[in-house]
Amino acid sequence: MAGSITGAAGQPALTPSSSKAALPSNYITNFDFLNQYLPDTYEKEFERYGNRSISAFLRMVGAEMPTNSDLIKWEEQGRLHTKFQGVLPTTIVAGRDTATLTFTADHNLRVGQTIFISDETAASTKSNKAIIDTIPSTTTVTVAFYEAAGLATGITTTTALTVFVYGSEFNKGASGMSGSLEADPVIKDNKPIIIKDKYVVSGSDMAQIGWVEVTSENGASGYLWYIKSEHETRLRFDDYLEMAMIEGVPAAAG
């Protein structure tokens, strides 16, 4: 049911009919006539990028990737900032000036790095800033707190903490940073899927159309027509396309 589009390249325009005649040249495939005839007013109302869908945003930022293969592979870079969750303060030294933090797996922290420590409880505001003093093992570090009171009151050896590195600090004349961090690229793969939808119109449905009276930029006035269900089928297909990219999962074996 796509109508004929006329006009210069990049500036499509439908030709309105002087009478209410359902012609291919005045059919609105995408019921967005405001953008057709009042582009200046449309941009003044709000700044618009694409059709406000995820696919339109990807198209605007150039993040679309064409493919004709049944398998797509790409590489993603890991986090720039080191972050750990589920960390436990297993040893809290008397006076609460230092503590030993235990991680659920091997960490990549180094002596001299400054870290931000916070309680993972959603409603909690308890936090500390500390510097890594020693590294007893690959799963533990000993830290010295910047706060005079030491570890925040209320944090115990069973409190799960979030730890991330925000910098480093060394005394004047101290040796440089020990060790280094290497990039840890992650190779991922995906496969395309085929989605379909369909809209069927019968002869009797052609009487149930909507009319829009417009005045084009060249002064011609007339009527454009559209079928609401056909337009919504297109919108529904675009929505399915986006949701399939977000919610789709590979089928498990068996």
Tell me, what's the pLDDT at 92? 76
Let me know: does 220 contact 16? Beta carbons within 8 Å.
yes
> Would you give the DSSP letter of residue 233?
H
Each residue's pLDDT tens digit, 87-127: 998 877 655 688 899 999 999 999 999 999 999 887 778 88
221/213 Cα distance (integer angstroms): 7
Residue 76: the pLDDT is: 80
Return the structure tokens found at 100: 């030993």
Burial class (CB in 10 A: 0-12, 13-18, 19+), 125: exposed
Exposure of 111 in the CB half-sphere (CA atoms within 13 A): 12
**pLDDT by 10s per residue, the chain, length 254:** 344 444 444 444 567 787 888 888 777 776 655 555 544 544 554 455 556 677 777 777 877 777 788 888 888 877 778 899 999 988 776 556 888 999 999 999 999 999 999 998 877 788 899 999 999 999 999 999 998 888 887 788 888 999 999 999 999 998 888 888 887 778 888 888 889 988 888 777 766 777 777 776 667 788 877 777 787 888 888 888 888 888 888 888 88
Residue 221 main-chain phi, psi, to 5 deg: -115, 150
Rounded Cα gap, residues 151 and 203, in angstroms = 76
In this structure, what DSSP letter does residue 204 have?
G
Pairwise CA distance, residues 30 & 233, whole Å: 11
The whole-angstrom separation of Cα 52 and Cα 46 is 12
Range list for CATH 2.40.10.170 in the chain: 83-168
pLDDT of residue 207: 67
Supply the pLDDT for residue 102: 94
- Residues whose CB is less than 8 angstroms from the CB of residue 170 and which lie 6 or more positions away in sequence, other chains included: 112, 176, 177
The CATH number of the domain covering residues in 83-168: 2.40.10.170
* R_g of the chain, CA atoms, integer Å: 31
The predicted structure's pLDDT at residue 51? 61
pLDDT computed for residue 52 by the predictor: 65
> pLDDT per residue over 52-87, tens digit each?
677 777 777 877 777 788 888 888 877 778 899 999
Strand extents, DSSP E, the chain = 72-76, 83-92, 98-102, 113-119, 127-137, 140-145, 161-168, 186-190, 210-215, 221-226
